[in-house]
Amino acid sequence: MHRRRAAVNLTLERYSSALFDAQKALDVGPVSEEALETKARALYHLRRWSLALAAYQELRNYAAASRAASSGIDACQARLREAESGTYDMPALFHASLAGPEGGVASMVDVADHVGPVKIGPSPTTGGGRGLVTTRDVLPGEILLAVRAVAAASASDLPKTPRSVVYNLDRGIVDTSSPLAYVQNVLWRLMDQPELGSKVYDLYLGDDAQTPADFPLAAPTEAVAETAPLDSQAVFKASFWNASFPHRVLPVPELRGDVIAYQKDAAPGALFSESAMINHSCAWTVSHVCPLDRLTSLSAHR
């Protein structure tokens, strides 16, 4: 039962549940190649590269001819190199992004996070709050931060009929489908990986929320961190204030009070929690701020 359920959970992208069931199947025995492979694949998708490598090596020891073991070992070693050095195969990633559905949203799983010479620190020159700062002089072309999005939304995630409209009671803003897709996808991921909660709940959640001084750079990989209860309201606020919505523009003549006018629904986009710490003033950041007396720099508060 555990082995079959593990396979189903893996298909549903419920990787923590798949790992739990695969380990249960191995504990009660007998050991099987299927359970070993499911365990290794679940650990890989959970981005626990060292543990996944050990699991694939265990699979190879049990089934020397396993192609999954050989390819899995190579993939884990590549991810560990990326995490350590920040050396990525950029041409391959570019072509993978073009090959996948909806601009390659589903094709970018096999990339490790890399945190370079940066940390989260105070931003006194941008009005306060937190910002991403370097810890030393950096070289031209050096990668400072490469992290996977907490969740992404593609055009296929947006409901075609009926068209969704969300009224944000907290901000008094009428919203359209993309924000709802982000919230659903973030909630789905946190249900399976609650250890990622701090990457969402410690983001800027609005002026009425207490913002922690610190923020975790990159995700916990080898060990599960302390978990937090699922908070749908905080997820909504984190997505609203921090996710990139390509359809959000700010046509100033159409501003009426607290209402932001959106031109159309569009995707893909993503909630990159670490890059929300980067103070900037691009259009989608400004478009989050309303009413007019707050059109200064939201990024200063992050």
Q: Can you list the domains of the chain with their CATH numbers? A: 2-85 (1.25.40.10), 114-301 (no CATH)
- Whole-prediction pTM value? 0.79
Q: Tens digits of per-residue pLDDT, 110-139?
A: 789 999 999 888 877 656 678 888 899 999
Backbone angles phi, psi at 214, to 5 degrees: -100, 170
In angstroms, rounded to a whole number, what is the distance separating the alpha carbons of residues 53 and 45?
12
* 36, containing H or E segment: helix 33-45
In angstroms, rounded to a whole number, what is the distance separating the alpha carbons of residues 102 and 280?
27
The per-residue pLDDT for 121 is: 82
The per-residue pLDDT for 116 is: 92
In angstroms, rounded to a whole number, what is the distance separating the alpha carbons of residues 37 and 59?
6
Amino acid in the structure at residue 251 = P
Q: Which of 211, 183, 184, 209 is nearest to 276 (CA)?
A: 211
Give residue 164's pLDDT band: very low, low, confident or very high (50, 70, 90). low
Query: Which contacts qualify for 115-118: CB closer than 8 Å, 24 or more apart?
Result: 115/145, 115/147, 115/217, 115/218, 116/86, 116/142, 116/143, 116/144, 116/145, 117/142, 117/144, 118/144, 118/145, 118/217
Q: Tens digits of per-residue pLDDT, 182-211?
A: 788 899 889 888 888 888 999 988 878 888
Q: Tens digits of per-residue pLDDT, 149-160?
A: 888 877 667 666
- Percent of the chain predicted with pLDDT > 90: 29
Give the single-character DSSP code of 104. Answer: T
The token pair that represents 37 in the structure block:
């492979």
Backbone angles phi, psi at 133, to 5 degrees: -125, 155
Angle 140-142-143 (CA atoms, 0-180°, nearest 5)?
A: 145
Residue with tokens 């082995």: 3
The answer to whether residue 292 scores a pLDDT higher than 50 is no
Whether the bond into 291 is cis, omega within 30 of 0: yes
The answer to whether residue 102 scores a pLDDT higher than 50 is no
The answer to whether residue 179 scores a pLDDT higher than 90 is no
Q: Bigger pLDDT: 25 or 261?
A: 25
The per-residue pLDDT for 42 is: 95
